[in-house]
Copies of this chain bind each other. A is one copy, B any other.
Amino acid sequence: MIRVRLDIQYKGTPFGGWQKQKAKGPPTLQGLFEELLSLIFNQPIRVIGSGRTDAGTHARQQVAHCDLPHLPENLRYKLNRLLPKEVAVFRAGPAPENFHALASVVSKTYVYRVWNHSVPHPFLAETSHWVQSPLSLPALNSFAKVFQGTHDFKSFQTRGTPVPDTTRTLFLSEWVERRPHLLEYRVRGNGFLKQMVRNLVGLQLYAQRKGLSPQDLKVILEAKDRREAKDTAPSHGLILWKVHYS
């Protein structure tokens, strides 16, 4: 068997997230790839991703690995022909035997996009969160700075499978105005808890609306209590931007 790395891009709108689900629902990315690869190789193929993305969340770069009996030269082309138009494989090549899409991750970058205008944006409706009331970039950045560094992010973890340790390090946590009215929250960390980015963005937008201070956010972070951190930003504003390996 050959270990193969897949670099994948997708618009999450029609999908039920990355992870295969037992319950009926929209197709998942993992399910789709396993189905297509099993079809191509005529045997069951398992696909491991760098991590889950929520239903409706997008990926500029998701990474996965699988073990294949051989590596056809035109695998990328074959997959792109079979995949729906919302998914593309931009790399499908051999990886070192010990490469593991999930275990080898060093850090990940997410981008959360906010369209901040009184008029909605038809072309960004599915890939950004629309906020009508004017946001202040400096205020948002004073919030974002609170999260930078190593902290216990328990306040920002949506309940799910328990994890032994909720401490994570954020190397980058900043807002930029990508172009007029399009704000982007860029965050890079060594790991993220369940819905952590959506919860961080949700609180920062809530804090703007309610006039909270960076000190208020610090208190919420230090409470290590999910009930203290209001609001989860919608999934369709979130993009898994890049998965970093060593």
Q: Chain A residues in contact with chain B, CB under 8 A?
A: 9-11, 58, 76-77, 80, 85-90, 118-123, 125-127
Contacts and interface: CB of A to CB of B under 8 A. Distances in A.
Contacts of A86: 122, 125
A10 B118 CA distance: 16
Contact of A119 (B10, B89, B119, B123): B89
Nearest to A87: B122
Nearest to A81: B120
A244 B58 CA distance: 36
Nearest to A121: B88
12 contacts: A9-B122, A11-B123, A11-B125, A77-B118, A80-B119, A80-B120, A85-B126, A86-B122, A88-B119, A88-B121, A88-B122, A89-B119
Copies per complex of this chain: 2
Contact of A85 (B80, B87, B125): B125
Nearest to A7: B119
Contacts of A127: 123
B85 A122 contact: yes
A11 B122 contact: yes
A86 B11 CA distance: 16
Given A58-B123, A88-B122, A90-B119, 18 more contacts: A9-B121, A9-B122, A9-B123, A10-B122, A11-B122, A11-B123, A11-B125, A76-B119, A77-B118, A80-B119, A80-B120, A85-B125, A85-B126, A86-B122, A86-B125, A87-B122, A89-B119, A123-B127
Nearest 9 CB-CB pairings of A with B: A85-B125, A11-B122, A88-B120, A90-B119, A86-B122, A88-B122, A88-B119, A9-B122, A10-B122
A121 to B, nearest CB: 7
Contacts of A77: 118
